[in-house]
């Protein structure tokens, strides 16, 4: 029997037991078992908490005769694929459940029979060509298994990739399908991940919503039948995020088992749980098979996007922290990956389209005096863009507004001691633009059909390399001719009439995916050419807040809704999968432009601290008292932003379950802790309250920076942090009042010896 290894040794391995044809992927936290079945297919045996390795797990391959089943072998009433747990299933040869792959062949058949041919175990992790994916910086960080299967009739080769990380309970999966036959075939579906689980005793959790209320936490128990989320909008969407978790009914934020699934992709996707009437659960995730049809000529491969599966037996916080570490350090890349993000001010809600260069400099000057580090010029600086009906696609500065162009404005901003950032929406075009007039065939549009618009704009056909080349040329010219430190990349509508004039009839089912590949290629070229520019992804706020874009842009605008109360839910839900360093969060004006709510300035900042932090207003319009408060906020963020953005984050009380929200961040050395406490509606004569903290050093003595109270870590975690205020009783005398939309930040530091 193999030892589990000493705690902290980070033992990791991929073992193949030849006698039983069993694969075991494991580290100190997770095990994943599969085997080669007697028909050559791959069978799933176990996925969960780490178990000892041994030669034989064949008893997990349970078989029994069942009425109405179909069987592969004459005289054998036990071997039915319908009643086995499979690793990458196909439909139609005794399995009646939804398949992982479907291929239309020349003779009209859709049957496949992928049988084991070989496997290879390598150190590290290979790159995925043209697609974002997790990565390693040394070969000791991970091991990768590639299992090769082949269909002997069509000659198609299927390669299944599994990467297990040394220090994380996570496995990355993808598939590559290569046509090594003599005839072209059509790939109708190809999952990135398929996983059969032995029971249905799970609660399905998803992150869903709409514009201005993205990534709300939704829960429902699994039951026999199909449960799914997807997007058919051409982008991952505001509606459903490409993430799902299965948690046991008793699992909470801090205890219990959960499996998390995330798809590193920015286009149409589908995540599905199919529970059969024997309570086996099949999870599939990948590119949405609706409207997908990829023609594979002989010799051509197709690579699926990567899916990441995370296991936790320490609740949802444990799962989230794994995603935070993995996505923050081994998905996000480049110069800004590990650097605290600059505090910025964006002019959009301060001016919209109504600005001049001098007005912009006036806003920037005041912001600089308050300590802001980066000024961002949003929409309206290019072409004839004085409203949302013209100019998109003409990426050259409007000299009537900016006499010195972008270069001249960036010099003026830099002279104030600040960095300069710029907004683009490179995937879109207005009909009233020079680009559209020159190339009306460059938009996605179906012949003889209505051309729908969104925000008076149309989607450029990024499946065409010449379109991507043209946009790159304009953006590269702007960025090379000015001192630009930040780019906000927006995308303000979903795709309709998805048809490319450049592709033949039998390849129109490829347009959605080719479009996303075009977006990725433009990101790749720009980030390579300008490695020190901080890119922030945006899609009318959170319409494409997904792991695919995190590979190119280490932060994303979480939502166009900047109201602090709404942001509690948005940022809470976002943190379920995404690191705090990726969450774009700003302080905006009141009444809020999205919900017309008035919230205190300190609460707006206290929510925005737990993200990248910035301002979405004109600081010249604040009172002297408010301006001083802004200066103090900026000073606070500069002192603690590394902890806030890269510390260990815990969710303690959910805005979806009550009137209060509490979350916290702990420094890596556990010497400093910040607790965010938020109460939506005020109360009177309320109960006393306390919150049990997490992740502290139990033997460390902490001091509350405001009260001076001293408490050991074990006390704070087991008895709790006192959060009672004047609402616990009656306000009398000079007691500090409380109000609706109240909040506080508790600062706890190790006591100096």
Among all residues, which ones are annotated catalytic? 490, 560
Q: Does residue 538 sit in helix, strand or coil?
A: coil
- How far apart CA 190 and CA 184 sit, in angstroms, is 16
Q: β-strand 614-616 against 344-346: which pairing, if any?
A: parallel
Q: What tokens does 516 get?
A: 């996303």
Q: Which residues are CB-contacts of 623 (< 8 A; sequence separation ≥ 6)?
A: none
Instruction: Show the beta-strand stretches assigned E in 124-155.
Output: 142-150
Q: Quick one: which of 147, 170, 130, 155 has its CA closest to 31?
A: 170
Please compute, for residue 486, the number of CA atoms within 13 A of its CA located in the half-sphere on the CB side.
28
Q: Nearest 5°: CA angle at 332, between 246 and 195?
A: 25
Please provide residue 327's backbone torsions phi and psi, each rounded to the nearest 5 degrees: -75, -35
Q: Is 23 helix (H, G, I), strand (E, B) or coil?
A: strand
- Distance CA(585)–CA(564), nearest Å, equals 10
User: If we measure between CA atoms, which residue out of 299, 85, 88, 118 comes closest to residue 190?
Assistant: 88
Distance CA 117, CA 68 (A): 31
User: Apex CA 240: angle with CA 563 and CA 254, to 5°?
Assistant: 75
Which helix (H) or strand (E) segment holds residue 179: the answer is: strand 170-179
What phi, psi does 646 have (nearest 5°)? -125, 0
- With residue 573 as reference, give the H or E element that holds it: helix 564-574
∠ Cα 328 330 334 (to 5°):
80
Cα 308 to Cα 163, 172, 330, 497, 515, distances in angstroms: 9, 4, 12, 31, 23
**DSSP SS3 for 717:** helix
In 10 A of CB 248, how many CB atoms?
A: 15
Among 410, 576, 425, 575, smallest CA distance to 493 is for: 425
The three-class DSSP label of residue 25 is strand
* Crossing angle of helices 601-608 and 564-574, rounded to 10°: 10
Instruction: Say which DSSP state 192 is in.
Output: E
Residue 247 near residue 222 (C-beta atoms within 8 A) = no
* CA distance to 27, 574, 658, per residue, from 254 (Å): 22, 17, 18
The neighbour count for residue 333, using CB atoms within 10 Å, is: 17
Phi-psi region of 286 (alpha: psi -120 to 50; beta: other; left: phi over 0): left
**The total number of residues written for the chain in this structure:** 753
Q: Which two tokens stand for residue 278?
A: 């024997």
CB atoms inside a 10 Å sphere around CB 232: 18
d(Cα 399, Cα 733) in Å, to the nearest integer? 60
Helix (H, G, I), strand (E, B) or coil at 46: strand
Tokens 């959910």 correspond to: 654
Measured distance CA(72)–CA(666) in Å, rounded = 56
CA 330 vs CA 260, 298, 365: distances in Å: 17, 35, 37
φ/ψ of 436, rounded to 5, equals -65, -40
User: Is residue 182 packed enough to be buried (19+ CB in 10 Å), middle (13-18) or exposed (0-12)?
Assistant: exposed
CB atoms within 10 A of CB 295: 19
């Amino acid at each position: 029997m193999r030892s589990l290894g000493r705690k902290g040794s980070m033992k990791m391995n991929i073992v193949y037991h030849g006698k039983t044809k069993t694969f075991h992927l494991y580290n100190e936290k997770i095990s994943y078992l599969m085997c080669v079945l007697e028909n050559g297919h791959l069978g799933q045996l176990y996925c969960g908490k780490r178990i000892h390795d041994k030669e034989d797990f064949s008893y997990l391959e349970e078989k029994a005769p069942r009425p109405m089943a179909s069987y592969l072998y004459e005289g054998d009433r036990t071997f039915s694929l319908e009643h086995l747990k499979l690793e990458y299933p196909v439909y139609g040869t005794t399995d009646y459940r939804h398949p992982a792959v479907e291929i239309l062949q020349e003779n009209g058949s859709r049957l496949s029979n992928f049988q084991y041919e070989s496997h290879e175990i390598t150190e590290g992790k290979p790159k995925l060509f043209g697609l974002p994916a997790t990565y390693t910086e040394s070969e000791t960080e991970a091991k990768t298994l590639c299992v090769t299967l082949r269909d002997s009739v069509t000659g198609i080769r299927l390669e299944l990739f599994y990467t297990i990380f040394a220090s994380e309970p996570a496995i990355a999966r993808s598939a590559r399908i290569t046509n090594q036959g003599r005839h072209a075939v059509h790939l109708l579906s190809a999952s990135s991940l398929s996983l059969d689980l032995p029971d249905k005793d799970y609660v399905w959790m998803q992150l869903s919503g709409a514009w201005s209320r993205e990534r709300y936490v939704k829960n429902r128990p699994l039951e026999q039948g199909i449960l799914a989320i997807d997007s058919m909008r051409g982008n991952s969407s505001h509606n459903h995020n490409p993430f799902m978790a299965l948690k046991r009914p008793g699992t909470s934020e801090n205890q219990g088992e959960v499996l998390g699934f995330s798809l590193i992709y920015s286009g149409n996707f589908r995540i599905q749980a199919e529970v059969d009437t024997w309570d086996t659960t099949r999870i599939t995730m990948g590119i949405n098979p609706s409207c997908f049809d990829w023609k594979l000529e002989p010799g051509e491969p197709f690579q699926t996007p990567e899916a990441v599966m995370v296991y936790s037996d320490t609740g949802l916080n444990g799962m989230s922290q794994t995603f935070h570490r993995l996505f923050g350090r081994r998905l996000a890349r480049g110069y800004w990956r590990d650097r605290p993000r600059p505090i910025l001010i964006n002019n959009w809600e301060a001016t919209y389209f109504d600005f001049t260069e001098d007005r912009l400099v006036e806003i920037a000057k005041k912001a600089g005096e308050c300590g802001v580090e980066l000024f961002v010029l949003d929409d309206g600086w290019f072409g004839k863009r004085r409203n949302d009906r013209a100019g998109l696609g003409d990426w050259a500065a409007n000299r009537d507004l900016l006499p010195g162009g972008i270069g001249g404005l960036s010099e003026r901003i830099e002279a104030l001691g600040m960095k300069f950032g710029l907004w683009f929406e490179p995937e879109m075009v207005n009909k009233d633009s020079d680009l559209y007039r020159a190339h009306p065939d460059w938009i996605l549009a179906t012949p003889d059909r209505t051309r729908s618009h969104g925000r008076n704009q149309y989607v450029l056909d990024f499946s065409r390399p010449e379109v991507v080349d043209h946009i790159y040329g304009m953006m590269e010219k702007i960025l090379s001719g000015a001192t630009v430190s930040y780019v906000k990349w927006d995308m303000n509508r979903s795709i309709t009439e998805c048809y490319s004039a450049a592709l033949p009839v039998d390849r129109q089912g490829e347009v959605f995916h080719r479009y996303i590949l075009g977006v990725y290629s433009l990101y790749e070229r720009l980030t390579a050419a300008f490695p020190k520019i901080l890119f922030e992804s945006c899609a009318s706020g959170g319409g494409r807040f997904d792991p695919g874009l995190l590979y190119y842009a280490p932060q994303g605008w979480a939502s166009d809704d900047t109201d602090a109360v709404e942001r509690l839910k948005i940022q809470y839900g976002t943190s379920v999968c995404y690191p705090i360093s990726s969450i774009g969060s700003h302080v905006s004006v009141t009444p809020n432009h999205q919900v017309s709510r008035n919230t205190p300035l300190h609460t707006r900042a206290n929510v925005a601290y737990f993200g990248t932090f910035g301002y979405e207003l004109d600081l010249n319009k604040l009172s002297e008292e408010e301006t001083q408060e802004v200066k103090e906020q900026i000073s606070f963020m500069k002192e603690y932003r590394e902890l806030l953005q890269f510390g260990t984050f815990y969710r303690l009380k959910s805005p979806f379950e009550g009137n209060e929200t509490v979350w916290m961040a702990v420094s890596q050395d556990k010497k400093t802790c910040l607790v965010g406490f938020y109460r939506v509606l005020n109360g009177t004569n309320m109960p006393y309250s306390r919150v049990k903290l997490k992740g502290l050093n139990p033997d460390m003595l902490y001091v509350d920076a405001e009260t001076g109270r001293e408490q050991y870590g074990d006390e704070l975690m087991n008895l709790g942090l006192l959060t009672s205020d004047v609402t616990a009783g009656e306000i009398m005398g000079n007691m500090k009042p409380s109000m609706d939309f109240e909040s506080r930040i508790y600062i706890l530091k190790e006591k100096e010896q």
